[in-house]
Structure 1
Amino acid sequence: MDSQSTGSRTSGNALERTGHRLADVVERWMPSPFLFAIILSYIVFLAGVLVEGAGPAEMVSYWFDGFWAFLTFAMQMALILMTGFVIAYHPRVNDALRRLTEVPSTAGGAVVMVAVFSMAIAWVHWGFSLILGAIFAREMGKTAAEKDIPVHYPLLCVAGYMGLGLTWHWGLSGSAPLLLATAGNAFIQQGVLESTVPPTKTIFSTYALALTVLSIVYASLMLYLLSPAAERAKSIHDYVDKSDLQSAEAATDGGERSDGARASSDLQSDGGTMESSPEAQLGAGPVAPAERIDNSRILGAIIALTGVLYVAYLFATRGLDALNLNVVNFGFLFIGLAIYTKPAVYRERFGDAATAAAGIVLLFPFFAGIQGMMNASGLSQTFAESMLAVSTQATFPVVAWLVGSMVNLFVPSGGGEWIVLGPSIISAAQELGVPVGQATIAYAVGDAHTNLLNPFWAIPLLAITGIKAREMFGYAIAMMLLLVPFLGAALYLVPY
């Protein structure tokens, strides 16, 4: 790569050099996400025995019981990954993303564009950001390599992850604020709250909106300053084999190429049924009715339209209250079919995306087991109450942020975490005269912040971008540390 390419820097600033050194250390020492989960499991096991006095057999029982708590959620996550993957890699959608990647002309500009895209989309819905941020980072990396722009690919991947690492829990799909706005929620049933807390007090409060805008600006600036100098920048080709990129492009092109052109490569056996279109087989003799049905654009369009119209009906009748993970998955599933039209081709693209979900299937039960030990043993509540006991009215938002940050390292599930910690945080806030909406947003900031250390939520991004956790998390950890003084000051100073 030419170190004098347009927009490159030939010497790095102090922040860039520090980030580069930290990235080197993390790349050498950080375990894989699977081993990370195992290490955390043992830490929580020992803490439950030593701090809460639980017996070893009890802790193993809590672990086993919790192990299965994420089965529904894991399937939801697998679907959101696979449906998003299939949609984003359709030629028309992928072309739109590629056109956006043509806009930046400098390395720093490319990183900032991916980050702003990821953080803004995450505010709308974390699921969108989880997939589109990863794919946008990958496509930006490919375009930068083609244009010889010295973008450091690991930092580009961190930029695509910033939505999950910063803004998602303050937005329209934030678990904690949405739960408070739900009629008859668990906190009302427990007597912690007398009534619901509307989104105007949380998501749409000037406090949350100001934090969101300021955080996006600050994080973008830090990412720009962290961008390695040209001589240290490594392109996507240093981390992903060109053959893998070409395979992905071939799969993308396959959705739009004529069936005749695909006949030689896409004739895959499925219980004796060929999956290429009838048109591709016209020269091979009569086409079975089943083949025509499998490749019927009319049938695919009817099914897709049914699903899409139902999603539209939900939003028309319920407004933004209809927005949840099941609706997103349902919508993605049928929008994908509407884009591809042919049921057989759509099924093939799902097959291409299936391997990306392997990490979710393996790791989610282990983190669910950690959550089971944390919650059942009382560790989560003990930690939260100990921290909140030393707070004052002025420092409470900062303390709530720290509580969310620390617990999220071990229980990276915003909704499950809030069910356990919420009563303690809300009760403490009410005793100190802190608005519940402010306390909730402060906690949500912490819950998102330490996603930049725990690779749990990065699993889909790792699958899509082709990078390893240890190759990108040095910069993710650098961003987490750089955000600490900013978030502490902002939570303390921004008025509610």
Structure 2
Amino acid sequence: MFKKFTNACVNIVQKYLPDAFIFCIILTILVFIVAMPVTGMNPIQVANSWGSKIWDLLGFSMQMALVLVLGTALATAPLVKRAINAAAGVPKTPSSAIVFITVVSMIACWLNWGFGLVVGAILAKEIARKVKGVDYRLLIASAYSGFVVWHAGFSGSIPLQLASYNDKINEQTAGAITESIPTSQTIFSVWNIIIVVAIIVVIAFINSKMHPTPEDTVTVDPKLLADPEAVETKATTPAEKLENSPVLSLITAILAIVYLIYNFASTGNFNLSLNIVNLIFLTLGIIFHGTPISYVRAITDAAKNAGGIILQFPFYAGIMGIMTAAGPNGHSLAGAISDFFVNISNQTTFPLFTFLSAGIVNFFVPSGGGQWVVQAPIVMPAGNSLGVSPAVSAMAIAWGDAWTNMLQPFWALPALGIAGLGARDIMGYCAIVLIVTGVIIGCGFLFLVPFLA
């Protein structure tokens, strides 16, 4: 019965889910139409909200492109390839391969989401080469499923902001938060840890049970997944000798390492921001490739997979612009969604409804920081008035933001670029993960939080 339901989801998604860019355009049209009656804006005002924000994610787009390109280039270095190859040799059967990649990806994403996205996809690709009979689509979907726990982990933007209180946070929450909230009440709270562990265990089991029967399994010829062999040429001219000089790579790496040590020492914490993660990938890539020209070639090859990010992220910035724009009546579309769920909540159901509203908003504002700016001024004061802990209200937003990433192709683009797949190839399986994790997280907010928060 379960396999039939899974196959039905996969078949529906394969038939009806368009390319990720087309999905993005459909979302744009939908929010454009809905925003007018909700906010009171006319078509020109909505178009202005879209166009004025379309380039607001350029910096973030570059960061995400670099996550993909630098991570992929690092994985092609000989020493790193051997390490990945060794890790990929741990599972021996299709089911154990799915369990292994799910657990590794979950833990990696909980530690750092950028690191987890890249490592999970690269490791899954290598496992597909080594384990016969494993479904490649499900393998990549399992790697991406780890992303569902990112906002409850070390790199969760909302809990980290709360731990570093400043006047801006007070302003964002309309005065609802007046002091820092330590991570012991958010990331490391007992109830949050229980939810994370439950998701890791249950989703590893669910993913393994979704594996298709042999006749329905989609495998990939291992030769198609192999990285191109590096071409070694003898340096003869002064220019070629510079290009192949490991000394230049070493000097560059030392400079980066000195900065990283200074950064961690001066800040007093091991905060892996996206820029720091990318710098680590860059430094390790330069070191492990040995020579500058070898790294140039690796980056050039890896950059071919970044097209989806470059094309789609501006459109999502435009969607966010429409969602957050307030019309003549003072309402924004994202705010209206939050208001609806707040108005039907009581002290017990408030965290659950906040989680659900955040999940809906995330489809259109797929950014943890952006979502916080949209929902915090509404959710945080409402939670305080109902007697709900600010830490719980904030984590409900964080969990909702991470939850519907299982159906939102925005964050899957780096993994899909590495794997060479399209969104429709994995989203049928991710839909099952969405349903199961939604039940786990919802039950956590209903039954764990009242007793453990």
Name the TM-score, length of structure 2 as normaliser: 0.94
Matches within 5 A, 1:58-77: 58-77=45-64
1:441-481 per-position Cα deviation (integer Å, ceiling 9, x unaligned): 22211111111111111111111111121121111112212
Confirm or deny that 1:341 pairs with 2:290.
yes
Match of 2:358 among 396, 404, 421: 404
How far is 1:317 from its partner? 2.8
The one of 356, 369, 382 aligned to 1:415: 369
Code of the residue aligned with 1:231 in structure 2: it is E
CA distance in 2, matches of 1:293, 1:211: 53
Task: Establish whether residue 183 from structure 1 lines up as the match of residue 132 from structure 2.
Answer: no
What's the secondary structure of 2:52's corresponding residue?
Answer: helix
1:17 aligns with 2:1: no
Decide whether the 8 Å contact of 2:70 with 2:278 is kept in 1: yes
Which residue of structure 2 aligns with residue 267 of structure 1? none
Query: Does 2:212 correspond to 1:212?
Result: no
Give CA-to-partner distance per residue, 1:192-219, whole Å, 9 cap, x none. Answer: 3211212122111112211111111111
Paired AA for residue 55 in structure 2: W
The alpha-carbon distance between structure 1 residues 443 and 130, as it changes in their structure 2 partners (threshold 3 A), is: same
Aligned partner (choices 92, 115, 138) of residue 105 of structure 1: 92
1:358 aligns to what?
Answer: 307
CA distance in 2, matches of 1:456, 1:236: 25
How many Å apart are 1:105 and its aligned residue? 2.1
In 2, distance between residues paired with 1:422 and 1:141?
A: 42
Q: Distance between the aligned counterparts of 1:484 and 1:291, measured in 2?
A: 56
Structure 2: how far apart are the matches of 1:84 and 1:185? 36
Aligned partner of 1:454: which letter? Q
Q: Describe how 1:262-277 pairs up with structure 2 within 5 A.
A: 262-263=232-233
Contact map agreement 1:340 1:346 (CA 8 A) in 2: yes
SS across alignment from 1:66: coil
| Structure of larger gyration radius | 1
Unaligned runs of 5+ in 1: 1-13, 255-260, 264-279
Residue 440 of structure 2, aligned match among 463, 477, 486: 486
Structure 1 pair 120/143, CA: closer, same or farther in 2 (3 Å)?
A: same
What letter is aligned with 2:344? V
TM-superposed CA distance for 1:69, in Å, is: 1.0
Contact 1:173–1:323 (Cα < 8 Å) also in 2: yes
Q: Deviations over 1:160-212 (max 9, x none)?
A: 10122x11001111111112122315222352321121212211111221111
Amino acid at match of 1:179: Q
Structure-1 separation of matches of 2:244 and 2:438: 53
The aligned residue for residue 140 of structure 2 is 157
> What SS does the corresponding residue of 1:320 show, helix, strand or coil?
coil
The size of the alignment, in residue pairs, is 443
Q: 2:389 pairs with 431, 435, 454, which one? A: 435
Aligned AA (1:155): L
Query: Deviation at 1:309?
Result: 2.4
8 Å CA contact 1:207–1:438 kept in 2: the answer is: no
CA offsets per residue over residues 376-398 of structure 1, 9 Å max, x none? 14111111011012111111221
Report the Cα distance in structure 1 between the residues aligned to 2:372 and 2:31, rounded to whole angstroms.
18
Give the conservation status (yes or no) of the 8 Å contact 1:305–1:338. Answer: no
Residues 319-338 of structure 1 aligned to structure 2 (within 5 Å) = 319-320=268-269, 322-338=271-287
Which residue matches 1:130?
Answer: 117
Query: Which one-letter code corresponds to 1:56 in the other structure?
Result: P
| AA partner of residue 467 (structure 1) | L
Counterpart amino acid of residue 415 in structure 2: L
Equivalent pair of 2:10/2:427 in contact (CA under 8 Å): yes
Return the alpha-carbon distance in structure 2 between the equivalents of residues 211 and 434 of structure 1: 19
In 1, are the aligned partners of 2:138 and 2:429 still within 8 Å (CA)? yes
Q: Which moves more between the two structures, 81-90 or 67-76?
A: 81-90
2:329 is matched with which residue?
none
Contact 1:187 1:423 in 2 (8 A): no
Distance (Å, rounded) in 2 between the aligned partners of 1:426 and 1:331: 35
SS of match in other structure, 1:457? coil
> How many Å separate the matches in 2 of 1:357 and 1:398?
36
Question: Is 1:466 matched up with 2:453?
Answer: no
- Tell me which moved more, 365-374 or 153-162: 153-162
Q: What is the rounded CA distance, in whole Å, between the counterparts of 1:225 and 1:38 in structure 2?
A: 34
Aligned to 1:269: none
Alignment CA distance shift 1:319-1:210 (3 Å): farther
Structure 1 Cα separation of the partners of residues 270 and 121 of structure 2: 27
Instruction: Give yes or no for contact 1:308–1:335 (8 Å, CA) kept in 2.
Output: no
Offset at 1:243? 5.9
Residues 121 and 143, structure 2, Cα contact 8 Å, conserved in 1:
yes
1:26 to 7, 10, 13: 13
Moved over 6 A (4+): none
Aligned to 2:149: 167
SS, match of residue 194 in structure 1:
coil
The unaligned stretches of length 5 or more in structure 2 are 327-331
Deviations 1:316-361 (A, max 9, x none): 3323363211111122212211222311211111101111111111
**Distance in 1 of aligned mates of 2:438 and 2:12:** 20
- 2:386 partner letter: L
Q: CA RMSD in A?
A: 1.5
Counterpart CA distance in 2 for 1:115 and 1:210 is 17
CA deviations on 1:10-61 (whole Å, 9 max, x unpaired) are xxxx212210121011101111100000000010001111222110000000
> Any conservation in 1 of the 2:159–2:395 contact (CA below 8 Å)?
yes
Q: Secondary structure at the match of 1:211?
A: helix
Residue 97 of structure 1 deviates from its aligned partner by 1.5
Summarize the alignment of residues 166-315 of structure 1 with structure 2, pairs less than 5 Å apart. 166-189=148-171, 190-237=174-221, 244-246=224-226, 248=227, 250=228, 253-254=229-230, 262-263=232-233, 280-282=234-236, 287-288=237-238, 290-315=239-264
Alpha-carbon separation, structure 2, partners of 1:418 and 1:69: 16
Query: Which amino acid in the other structure matches residue 333 of structure 2?
Result: L
In structure 2, C-alpha distance between the alignment counterparts of 1:116 and 1:90, rounded to whole Å: 25
How far the C-alpha of 1:307 sits from its partner, in A, is 0.2
